[in-house]
Amino acid sequence: MSHFRLARVLLPAAAGVALACSDQSPTGPDALHEELVAARGAAQAAPGIYTMSTRLTSEGVVLIARVQYASTGAPATGGEAKFYACRIGKAPAPSAACATGAGRWSYEGSAGIVPSGPNAGYALRLFGQCPAGTTVGFYFQYSGQRSGVADGKSAAVDYTFAS
């Protein structure tokens, strides 16, 4: 190999080594830290709004989870809602019983968030029927599963079964 060709190969390589070892290296610790911080920020999910509601049907009470981006109000397009009911022993109880420690939150099941269409951002789960006058507390826990909305949970809501 001629000296000219050898210089063309070695000089860029030597410059890269010198640059990589300098204090101002774009691949040095400071630059790497900045890249990691930027990547972590990009991977963080946006804050959400988590709203729990109920609706009576002929089958019983439907638990309704709604998840939205806090900044825009746009619906979440993925993730899962896990529904919980307050119970004292096996008996349904109002959310106040769980808030005071007299009751415990019981996992009732989960449902995926509807990704598109008029029901986008919602997840539904049938709870069923209870005797008239029974009040049951409910909430849901949202797992974003990289959907863009942060994991979170709704406030508890109570539903009282009518006669």
CATH (domain of 86):
2.60.40
Q: Residue 128 is inside which H or E element, if any?
A: strand 122-128
Alpha helices, DSSP H, located in the chain: 3-21, 29-43, 95-100
Confidence of residue 44 (pLDDT cuts 50, 70, 90): confident
Better-scored residue on pLDDT, 120 or 146: 120
22 and 62 fall within a common domain:
no
Q: Is the pTM of this model over 0.75?
A: no
Q: Using one digit for the tens of pLDDT, what is the confidence trace for 8-27? A: 444 444 444 333 333 444 44
Strand partners, 29: none
Domain tally, the chain: 2
Domain span holding position 84: 48-160
Which pLDDT score is estimated for 29? 53
